[in-house]
Amino acid sequence: MTDAASSQPFTDLTPHAVLDALALTGLHGDGRLLQLNSYENRVFQVGLEDGGFVVAKFYRPGRWSDAQILEEHSFALELAAAEVPAVAPLVLQAESPAQSLRCLGTPATLAVLGRTRFAVSPRRAGRAPELDDPETLEWIGRFIGRLHTVGSQCPFTHRRTIDAATLGWAPREWLLEQGTVSPGERAAWADVSQRALQIAERRLRDVDGLHMLRLHGDCHPGNLLWTPEGPHFVDLDDAAMGPAIQDLWMLLPGDARASGAALASLLEGYETFCRFDRREIALIEPLRTLRMLHHSAWLAQRWDDPAFPAAFSWFGTDNYWSQQIAQLREQVEAMA
């Protein structure tokens, strides 16, 4: 379970602060600054004096350790070296006399300025993929298969593992301890979340010898951009150890029949590069259950950040928890 974020962690991250931080690495902005859509971190497209653009990601304090961030960067650089189209961070260097800035990593990809940590990458454009097109899904499947071929070569040692303890039981315990669940729904939510997690954990255990590998970890359509040359990932912030199906199931439509056809297209491409254990298909609903519980805790832990109440005003209401109870009951039925 990640640490709860400090209250209003980005209050001092003004446009001037962003540009000043980048200037310490020799990247001098020309005043063009656009904040991109990101809730967990703060991400900016920055125009440079030479006419180019970079994307600067300022990490939320307290979420990841330096070692975890550098593992993310190392994985991205490894993918780039294998010609897998994932956006990798730039190598940074503190400009003298910028003694207050440290650049960490080998190569140095993480800049540390007091409590502020940031990375810089090239700007990569793209559009949302057409996930109702079988050929597009097959191409995405090949892409993920190539990513997993690299991911299978060695494990993460610092980043988290996608399992019931980390993304299920820990968030559930935190939500109950903090009194986040509305009083009228607490008993029902506690009961159904426990039943759902028990089944999810059992289903994960049932796949004997489940292969865990380095994954993108948060492979939803918003993190996958399409270009004429094909797909590429723009964010490995949630890279983790987990089963291969984790990077496939979030690309599937909600309808069961359409989902089966879409998965067949994804696997047609995936297995061009990587063997897939068909037993993992049974893990889709358990993994969906873990994501639901983790997402509730993620929202609650970020509530002091003004961006969250503005974007998720419905969170924490009686209606929200009633819907969560209903959805978890559906998960129990689907998994059982």
Per annotation, catalytic residue among 20, 208, 218, 237: 218
Q: Are 265 and 134 in contact (CB under 8 A)?
A: yes
| Cα 277 from Cα 104, distance rounded (Å) | 38
Collapse the DSSP code of 157 into the 3-class scheme (helix H, G, I; strand E, B; otherwise coil) and give the result: coil
User: Closest Cα to residue 287, out of 200, 165, 227, 170?
Assistant: 200
Of 235, 237, 247, 305, the active-site residue reads: 235
Q: Residue 193 region, left (φ>0) first, then alpha (ψ -120 to 50), else beta?
A: alpha
Q: What is the DSSP letter of 165?
A: I
Q: 30 an active-site residue?
A: no
Q: Cβ distance 155 to 276 under 8 Å?
A: no
Please name the amino acid found at residue 229: E
Is there a catalytic annotation at residue 235? Answer: yes
Stated as kind and residue range, the H or E segment containing 267 is helix 256-270
51: three-class secondary structure by DSSP: coil
Phi-psi region of 166 (alpha: psi -120 to 50; beta: other; left: phi over 0): alpha
For residue 18, give both structure tokens: 């962003």
335 touches 199 (CB < 8 A): yes
- Which is it for the CA torsion 109, 111, 117, 121, positive or negative? negative
Task: Write out the catalytic residue numbers.
Answer: 218, 235
